[in-house]
Amino acid sequence: MASLLTNLKTLSNAPGVSGDETAVRRIAIDLIKDHVDEWRVDTMGNVLAVKHARGKARLRVMLDAHLDEIGFMIFGANDDGSLKFRAVGGIDDRILPGKAVLVGPDRIPGVIGVKPIHLLDGEMNVAKIEDLAIDIGAANAGEANNLVTVGQTATFATEFRTWNGAASGKALDDRAGCAVLIEILRGPRLPVEILAAFTVQEEVGLRGAQVAAHTFDPDAAVALDATPANDLPPVIDQDLSPNTRLGHGPAIYVMTRHDLSDPRLVQHFMTTGDALKIPYQIRQPGGGGTNAGGIIPTRSGVPTISVSVPTRYLHSPASLIYVKDVRAVVALVRESVARLTPQVLHRS
Amino acid sequence: MKELIRKLVESFGPVGFEDEVRALIRAEIKDFADEIRVGKLGDLIAIKKGRSGGQKIMLVAHMDEIGLMVTHVDKRGFLRVAPLGGVFPLYSVGARVRFADGRLGVLETDRREDTSKAPTLDQLYIDVGATSQDDCPVKVGDVAIFHQGLENVGDRLIAKSLDDRIGCAILIETLRRLKQTPHEVYFVFSVQEETTSAGARTTAFSIDPDIAIAVDVTGTGDTPKAQPMAVEMGKGPAIKVRDAGMIADPRVKNWMVQRAEAAKIPYQLEIFRLGTTDVQAVQTVREGVPSGGVVVPARYVHSQVEMIDLADVENTVKLLVELLKKPIVMSNA
């Protein structure tokens, strides 16, 4: 019996750099196929699944989580057998040196090269990604080309771990959202029709979600994602709001850099959380973005809300979350969506 | 028309929170439209049906205005903010702001070491008179607008949110004056132009128009040391040629120029480098929509003291009525 945590572990450990989501897509399909009424893979690689309502559907609601993760693409081999690479999605150059990675479909182990401290002579500059290379232990370019080909992707090699209510691993952005969506699909039928989209290429421009929303043409949508928590140790003693905090429940978005969650949905989710005593927090408005930005302007418009798992160290080799936050996201989204009626979306 | 403009510019409608403006406009147009509906994201859509044989024309003016969203309430009850649309900190220091419930505050700046540079938005805070976080009546996520009434200076008006309530006023007045038209005309009052134009884009999808016309404001080049721009306040509506987000369909532009000349309505040509408008998003909806704009020259756009000339407003209405009352003959560019 697959539990939320085992699913999250399987999803986190699977490779799925933007545009190369096949492995993680298969996992998602396996976990949902016996719990939905229809599913298919669309032209872009999104998994689109439908779970009918209990009784007559009050509304058709799209739930989105993105399959893809940030990672790397191999550009070629250097003469010394190391691999040239570039980032796919937003990665901070400062975190790269010395990190273990897995390259290509065969998961060839490698390390992003770094000069050890023994050999440093006061140089402490941050290397740019262009000046780094992945070392897969090949002795020369020919040997490297036998193992890896140009255009293959690489991910961080971090193994998922969980302890004491915390969990850490790579790609929790957005495998945490995928795990939430899977949990909802594996649960009971709701009074609304659930249109589930496991989408591709979020990290490179919200591309899969635009197409998925066009196909589904839903009455409303929820973008499930992971959002940065900057309640970081050591705690910065400034009178400033953290973006979000771990352990304080689902992060409800009001506004990103460009997009607004529909204010009626924000109110509805807050009311549901209050009524059922499910904790939630308002993510600090401004900055960032989610698939909501791709979904809202689709066709005649889709009222959309973003709800995220607060996550530390996003887009790094090892993000860290609290399991209770993930469970609270499942509860808040499931219960809020179950209580959604046309009246909530009525406008005079 | 000035009283209508006053009501519109003094109402509350920051990006995403346009309900008050929509209710006001709906009341103003209900006796003049054949059908009124509300789009999924909140656009107000009023339809005037014409005789058969005309085209489906979408006019769009946006209801939303720039504003501020609270991101943090500090221990002493001061508020930090994020922008809703393009807020210029330089124009904003010292402004009075108003929240949805009518509560006022002032927008002020941290003490800055280097006062030779304009402040950044991060350096601004709102003081609502609270003494602590606990007694602060405002929460994170609440939204505010500039608090500024309409003022007259000669034939010119000063107000907040003339961008684009003046366009809303022009659409309302055009709908009232348009007695006969061969066309099916959609008067669209859109939401969220200042951030994504998601309102106009999605409403255009639902209408699937033959032609779209933005009625918005544009900048001018007529102030001291202004960035060069061949548009002046008081010289008539500006017909869109291009802006930072789009190139107007030349056939639409030429049609507008021909109608303005035939009716002896003063006009200018708009080439605007600093901004764009809703039809930029409409232009690429579905199979594409030939799009243009009739825009009102405005000074100090995105400030609390935006300025326009009433004669330009009147001439914009006249031009729109001229455009809509007859069959459209478009020549290729």
Q: What is the pLDDT of residues B90-138, one digit of tens each?
A: 989 999 999 999 999 999 999 998 889 999 999 999 999 999 999 999 9
pLDDT, one tens digit per residue, over A97-149 is 999 999 999 999 999 998 777 777 777 778 899 999 999 999 999 999 999 99
pLDDT recorded at residue B128: 97
Task: Show the CA angle centred on residue A260, arms to residues B205 and B165, nearest 5°.
Answer: 70
Q: Would you say residue A234 has pLDDT above 60?
A: no
pLDDT recorded at residue A238: 63
Q: Inspect the interface and report whether the beta carbons of A260 and B195 lie closer than 8 Å.
A: yes
Average pLDDT of the residues in B75-87: 95
Q: Inspect the interface and report whether the beta carbons of A259 and B196 lie closer than 8 Å.
A: yes
pLDDT, one tens digit per residue, over A290-344 is 999 999 999 999 999 999 999 999 999 999 999 999 999 999 999 999 999 999 9
Kindly list the distances between the CA atom of residue B18 and the CA atoms of B62, B65, B67, B91, in Å, as whole numbers in the listed order. Answer: 10, 9, 12, 23
- Chain A, residues 278-297, CB within 8 A of chain B, namely 282, 284-287, 293, 296-297
B201 interface with A at CB cutoff 8 Å: yes
Q: Which residues of B touch A286 (CB under 8 A)?
A: 69, 71, 82-83
| Count of C-beta atoms within a 10 Å radius of residue A342 | 10
pLDDT recorded at residue B238: 98
The per-residue DSSP string of A207-228 comes to: HHHHHHHHHH--SEEEEEEEEE
Higher per-residue pLDDT: B198 or A1:
B198
Strands in chain A per DSSP E: 38-41, 47-51, 60-66, 71-77, 83-88, 100-103, 108-112, 134-135, 153-156, 161-163, 166-169, 193-199, 220-228, 251-252, 281-282, 304-311, 319-322
Q: Which residues of A touch B69 (CB under 8 A)?
A: 254-255, 285-286
Higher per-residue pLDDT: A240 or A195:
A195
Q: Which residues of A touch B281 (CB under 8 A)?
A: 297
Q: How many CA atoms lie within 13 A of A205 on its CB side?
A: 3
Calpha distance B138→A76 (Å, rounded): 55
Nearest to A297 among B15, B72, B196 (CB): B196
In percent, how much of chain A has pLDDT > 70?
97
pLDDT recorded at residue A347: 85
Calpha distance A7→A4 (Å, rounded): 5
Q: Would you say residue B230 has pLDDT above 90?
A: yes
**Averaged confidence pLDDT in chain B:** 96
- Chain A, residues 224-253, CB within 8 A of chain B, namely 239-241
Q: Inspect the interface and report whether the beta carbons of B196 and A286 lie closer than 8 Å.
A: no
B230 interface with A at CB cutoff 8 Å: no
pLDDT, one tens digit per residue, over A38-90 is 999 999 999 999 999 999 999 999 999 999 999 999 999 999 999 999 999 99
Q: Would you say residue B245 has pLDDT above 90?
A: yes
Calpha distance B138→A3 (Å, rounded): 41
pLDDT recorded at residue A236: 53
The shortest C-alpha distance from A256 to chain B (Å) reads 10
Q: Would you say residue B191 has pLDDT above 90?
A: yes
pLDDT recorded at residue A121: 75
Q: What is the ipTM of this complex?
A: 0.93
pLDDT recorded at residue A239: 67
Q: Inspect the interface and report whether the beta carbons of A300 and B39 lie closer than 8 Å.
A: yes
Kindly list the distances between the CA atom of residue A213 and the CA atoms of A124, A296, A307, in Å, as whole numbers in the listed order. Answer: 47, 9, 17
pLDDT recorded at residue A127: 86
Q: Inspect the interface and report whether the beta carbons of B196 and A293 lie closer than 8 Å.
A: yes
pLDDT recorded at residue B213: 98
pLDDT, one tens digit per residue, over A115-126 is 777 777 777 778
pLDDT tier at B85, thresholds 50, 70, 90: very high
B207 interface with A at CB cutoff 8 Å: no
Q: Would you say residue B332 has pLDDT above 70?
A: no
Instruction: Choose the catalytic residue: A69, A193, A202, A203.
Output: A202
Average pLDDT of the residues in B313-328: 96
The shortest C-alpha distance from B93 to chain A (Å) reads 20
Average pLDDT of the residues in B148-176: 97
Average pLDDT of the residues in B72-82: 94
pLDDT, one tens digit per residue, over A242-263 is 789 999 999 999 999 889 999 9
A335 is catalytic: no
pLDDT, one tens digit per residue, over A5-50 is 999 999 999 999 999 999 999 999 999 999 999 999 999 999 999 9
The shortest C-alpha distance from A286 to chain B (Å) reads 6
Task: Show the CA angle centred on residue A259, arms to residues A254 and A262, nearest 5°.
Answer: 50
A342 interface with B at CB cutoff 8 Å: no
Strands in B128-256 per DSSP E: 143-146, 151-153, 156-159, 184-190, 211-214, 217-218, 238-242
pLDDT, one tens digit per residue, over A313-328 is 999 999 999 999 999 9
Average pLDDT of the residues in B210-234: 96
Kindly list the distances between the CA atom of residue B329 and the CA atoms of A333, B49, B104, B269, in Å, as whole numbers in the listed order. Answer: 53, 19, 51, 20
Nearest to B198 among A263, A301, A347 (CB): A301
pLDDT recorded at residue A219: 98
pLDDT recorded at residue A287: 87
Q: Inspect the interface and report whether the beta carbons of B203 and A299 lie closer than 8 Å.
A: no
Residues 6 or more apart whose Cβ sits within 8 Å of residue A161: A167, A168, A169
pLDDT recorded at residue A306: 97
